Every structure is written in structure tokens, then in C-alpha cells.
Amino acid sequence: MFNFLPGPVLFLLSASLLIINTALWGSLVCLGGLLKLVTPGETGRKWVSALMNRFMWAWASCNGGILFLIAKIEWDVRGLENLQPDGWYLLISNHLSGFDIAAQTYILRNHIPMLKFFLKKELIYVPIMGLGCWALDMPFMNRTSPEKLKKNPKLKGKDLETTRKSCEKFRHIPTSIINYVEGTRVTDEKRARQNSPYRHLLKPKAGGIAFALSAMGEQFNQLLNITLVYPDAPKDILMGVMQGKVSKVVMHIEALPVPQVDDKRYFSQPEYRAEFQRWLNGLWEAKDAQIDAIMLEHGAHNAEAAEHRSAH
């Protein structure tokens, strides 16, 4: 709607709207966390959790409204057909930008439960943020450092047991948990530093997804493998979106069977871990080829968009 405005003006407009949107719904989630703390009974706390998820849904929907105002984005989304808002899903995705979470929560908000992230247990003590994440039922995981394990080998396996207990509530609450298995946003510099074998991706890390599957694997209905591409985006994708310079977002979702992980073997047998890593590497090889195909498909569009941007 306002994408005719100059980039700097669009940036100020989008930044202001995004801050207001996040502050509004974030404040309500934190207030909900206080309410949840004093709500007696499991049924009452579940009701508060459901309300907090609606607040997150509203945040994601408002982000979509802001995008409509500042940019004319064409969404190429495939794979939503058989998803269920009352299902249990583990999602893995490539990670390109700080915009990824906003894009994925917006597109998926009506098709699967609101996205959650495994967080380090220490984050629950961060003022405001910890309370908000707890109110949203983000699963907190306990990870003992290698140094502590060396000093006290009896702690081995306690992390998984503690995390599994904290995830018990998800047996009765439809849940979607997302894991960016590369661990960080991809850049050319990071790819070079890693000596990554992929053209568009960093090396995937198996530890986080294996931990999630060990803690909750039997609860998930499907593994959703998401490939995310911004074919015409500038190098700084988030800045490009906020300045109305991104006109295409591609999100392809592949539903896969949930792999079984034997936690005793995974955490004690190097060859078992290597086998799981090879499986994940295979997914990433296919994803890299898929991104190549997507970029080739939108190559003419990219050239036109680049020419248009340079002319302005």
C-alpha cells in the first residue's frame, strides 16, 4: 500500500509499527505470565496458556498486516494442504534472516499450533523475557556443561530426564517446535569459515534436533522440513523487507516421518550419532539443490528486480 514511499521513510514506518506491535502483544503475554503464576489448578493455567497463544497469533497476524502496508510481497508457499492446527510437529528450517521467524509464524499460524523454541533453562530467569516465554509454554532444556559432567559423571542423562519431564504437558497440548539446525543465520563469511560443502547453507548440527527427538519424539506426528528463500532480497534481508525491497518469499514445506532416536545409543555410541548426522546431511544436500532450483526458477524475476532497485 505504501511501498511507493522512499526506502528510508518505509524503514521508519515499518520499524515504528513493528516496535508497537511487539511491545503491545509482548506486554500482554508478560501480564498473562503473572496471571498464570497466581492461577490455581492445571485447568486454569491451561486456559491462560491458550490465551497467550492467541496473543502470539495476533502478533503474527499484525506482522502480516504491517507487511501488507509496507511491501508488495508475493508468497510462494507449498505444502500446507494436510497440516492440522491440532497436531504435533517438529520443524527444521534453513536460517537466513531475523525476518524468518516473523515470516514463518505468519504463514503457519492457521495451519499448525503456534511455533515454540527449545530454550536454555537459564533464560527463564531473564527479567520479562523469561516470564513471557514461560507464559507461552516454551520448552526449557537443562544442559549440563562438559566440565560438570567430568566432575560428576552421575549427572549424565539427568538433562534429558529433566527436559522430558518439563515436556510432559505437551502430551495433551498440540505443539509445534522449530529448530534452526544450522545454529545461526547463514552468511558467505560463515560458509567460508566452516568450509561448508553447500552453496546456500551452513553445515547442519544434529545435537539440538536429536535432543528434541529424545525428549519428545514419540509425541510428534510429523517432521516438517522447511526450505525458505528470498529470491530478490538484498544481502541484508530484514533491512530489505523493512524498506519494501523484497517482493517474493518462497517457503516450501515437506512433511516427513519422524525419525526415531534411541537416546541411550545417541549419547553413548559415536557411530550411532554419525549415522544420524549422515541422515541430516542428506536432507541438507537435497535442500541445497532445491534452493538452487528455486533461484533458477526466479532468475529472470531477480534480474528485473535488481535492475528496478538500481534505477531507484
Q: Domain holding 197: CATH number?
A: 3.40.1130
Determine the pLDDT at residue 142.
67
pLDDT at position 258 over 90 = yes
Q: Which of 59-63, 183-187, 204-208, 231-235 has the highest mean pLDDT?
A: 59-63
Determine the pLDDT at residue 208.
83
pLDDT at position 309 over 50 = no
Confidence of residue 300 (pLDDT cuts 50, 70, 90): very low
Confidence of residue 191 (pLDDT cuts 50, 70, 90): very high
Contacts of 279-287 with C-beta under 8 Å, sequence gap 24+, read 280/181, 280/204, 280/206, 280/209, 281/203, 281/204, 283/92, 283/204, 283/225, 284/198, 284/201, 284/203, 284/204, 285/198, 287/94, 287/201, 287/225, 287/227
Is residue 179 a part of any domain in this protein?
yes
pLDDT at position 305 over 70 = no
**Choice between 71 and 161, residue whose per-residue pLDDT is larger:** 71
- Average pLDDT (136-156) is 68
Measure the CA–CA gap between 38 and 36, rounded to whole angstroms: 5
Determine the pLDDT at residue 308.
43
> 261 exposed, middle or buried (CB, 10 Å; 0-12, 13-18, 19+)?
buried
Is residue 14 a part of any domain in this protein?
no
Q: Based on the structure, what is the number of domains in the chain? A: 1
Measure the CA–CA gap between 300 and 151, rounded to whole angstroms: 59
φ/ψ of 269, rounded to 5, equals -120, 110
Confidence of residue 265 (pLDDT cuts 50, 70, 90): confident
**Choice between 306 and 228, residue whose per-residue pLDDT is larger:** 228
DSSP notation for 181-208: TTSS---HHHHHHHT-S-SS-PPP-HHH
Measure the CA–CA gap between 90 and 255, rounded to whole angstroms: 10
pLDDT at position 304 over 50 = no
Classify 174 in phi/psi space as left (phi over 0), alpha (psi -120 to 50) or beta.
Answer: beta
pLDDT at position 135 over 50 = yes
Q: Which of 154-163, 196-205, 243-252 has the lowest mean pLDDT?
A: 154-163
Is residue 4 a part of any domain in this protein?
no
Is residue 6 a part of any domain in this protein?
no
Confidence of residue 14 (pLDDT cuts 50, 70, 90): very high
Is residue 235 a part of any domain in this protein?
yes
- Average pLDDT (253-281) is 91
Measure the CA–CA gap between 77 and 187, rounded to whole angstroms: 24
- Average pLDDT (112-118) is 91
Is residue 40 a part of any domain in this protein?
no
Is residue 110 a part of any domain in this protein?
yes
Residue showing cell 537459564: 122
- Average pLDDT (191-216) is 90
- The domain of 107 spans 75-311
Is residue 65 a part of any domain in this protein?
no
For residue 203, give Cα distances in angstroms to 5, 63, 249, 267: 39, 30, 23, 20
What average pLDDT does the chain have?
Answer: 87
Determine the pLDDT at residue 170.
82
pLDDT at position 186 over 80 = yes
pLDDT at position 301 over 60 = no
- Cell output for 57: 497469533
Q: What is the pTM of this model?
A: 0.86
